[in-house]
Amino acid sequence: MTKKLIGELELNRIYQRDCIEGMRMLPDKSVDLVVIDPPYNIGKDKRWDKWKTVDSYVGFMTEVFRECERVLKPNGSFYWFHNDMNQIRKLMDSLDKTSFVFKQLITWNKIDPSFRNYGYVQQRLSVDMMRNYYNGFTEYCVYYTFEDETGLEKVNVRGSYESLIEILESDYRNSGLSKDDVVTLFQNEGRYSSYASARVHASYKLGWNGGKRFDLMDEKMYKFLAKSIKWSITYADLKAKYNKIRQGLEETRVEFENDRYVFNTATVKDDLRANSNVWLYPPAQKQGHITPKPVDMIENIIRHSSNEGDIVIDCFMGSGTTAVASAKLKRNFIGFERESEYIEIANKRLDNEINEEEAK
């Protein structure tokens, strides 16, 4: 079987390398999704989770962010985890200096009745001495892309019809019809029983309140107003120009959707939790690592922000949750991890996943 490569590295492997060193081996704009669970600088493990100062930690993470920015495709997405809001604030400040655009702060609520220590956790959150302090059992996931809007401004419907709207509006202005004249026309036609309803309709269609709604012109409205307005364009020509603009808009929309960052909305029947910015997942089993993330939570990210065959990178692979989730969902992955014991655990988990899939 031909090996899949990304640059000179093989896909669907976890390499024992420092995160920054590993990512520097990847080509620019080569991955579809970045999901990282970096050290939080809170002292969980002295080998990899403690810096002398917060500033030195932020400096390190800023280098990581820059590499993530470099390797991610223009329509890619970037997720990173943390649990310390003061440090999150500083890290987000550093991301403001990149091309990344903030999309959402997601709260992972780890309190779940199925969690074996549920009672202990609830008791811990009820200690009387914790006055003026809400003791939390949460972590956060921060979501970024390179696009700040849905992109619909690239398919500017009203703006695209502006030239036709100007023709119709000019004809209307040149007719000398006052607002009351038009309202009377509507009433005389028997379209509206009251002056108020006729005025509201005319106001909406003819843009009296600051908006130009001639882009809503249909043949019935055109012929109705032709009794009092001498149009400088036939309805056939008007319709032909509308259709040509509409076709161009559709082509632009399709082009944009193909380039837009991936976001696959989950259906409610699949997972009631999936589309909210509060995620309800119990903590994962340790599996040889002190801070693993639940596989189904990482699967949720991968489903939303990638498609089958896409490339997912995790440069803090740990015990391999991102790799396992990617394999389950038929995505390619590339991972880097410094600690050999974690790589061994991750590879065993991947082997188990492959064996389970083959057994189905």
For every residue of 310-360, DSSP letters joined together read -EEEESS-TTSHHHHHHHHTT-EEEEE-S-HHHHHHHHHHHHHHHHHHHH-
Nearest CA to 27 among 263, 311, 306, 305? 311
Residue 332 identity (one-letter amino acid): N
The helix or strand, by DSSP H or E, that contains position 208, with its residue range, turns out to be none
Average pLDDT over residues 285-313: 91
Task: List, in order, residues 6 or more apart from 235 with CB less than 8 Å away.
Answer: 219, 222, 223
245: Cα within 13 Å, side-chain hemisphere: 18
**Does the pLDDT of residue 4 top 80, yes or no?**
yes
pLDDT digits (tens, 9 = 90+) for 26-80: 999 999 999 999 999 987 888 887 899 999 999 999 999 999 999 999 999 999 9
Q: Cβ of 67: how many Cβ atoms within 10 Å?
A: 19
Confidence of residue 125 (pLDDT cuts 50, 70, 90): low
| CATH fold for the domain made of 5-147+265-359 | Rossmann fold (3.40.50)
Work out whether the CA dihedral 286, 292, 297, 299 comes out positive or negative.
Answer: negative
Residue 262 identity (one-letter amino acid): V
The domain limits of the chain are 5-147+265-359, 154-258
The predicted structure's pLDDT at residue 1 = 47
**Strand-pair category, 332-336 with 72-82:** unpaired
The predicted structure's pLDDT at residue 44 = 80
Beta strands per DSSP E along 12-130: 13-15, 31-36, 72-82, 101-109
Instruction: Give the pair of three-digit tokens for residue 309.
Output: 């065959």
Average pLDDT over residues 303-322: 96
Task: Note if the pTM is more than 0.75.
Answer: no
pLDDT digits (tens, 9 = 90+) for 190-223: 666 677 777 776 666 665 554 456 666 778 778 8
Instruction: Give the orientation angle of helix 54-71 with respect to helix 85-95, to 10 degrees.
Output: 50
Angle at 240 between CA 234 and CA 243, to 5 degrees: 140
More confident: 3 or 79: 79
Confidence of residue 179 (pLDDT cuts 50, 70, 90): confident
- Mind giving me the DSSP string for 237-289? HHHHHHHHHHHHHHHHHHHHHHHSPP--PPPTTT-TTTTSSEEE-PPPP-TT-
The predicted structure's pLDDT at residue 267 = 67
The helix or strand, by DSSP H or E, that contains position 25, with its residue range, turns out to be none
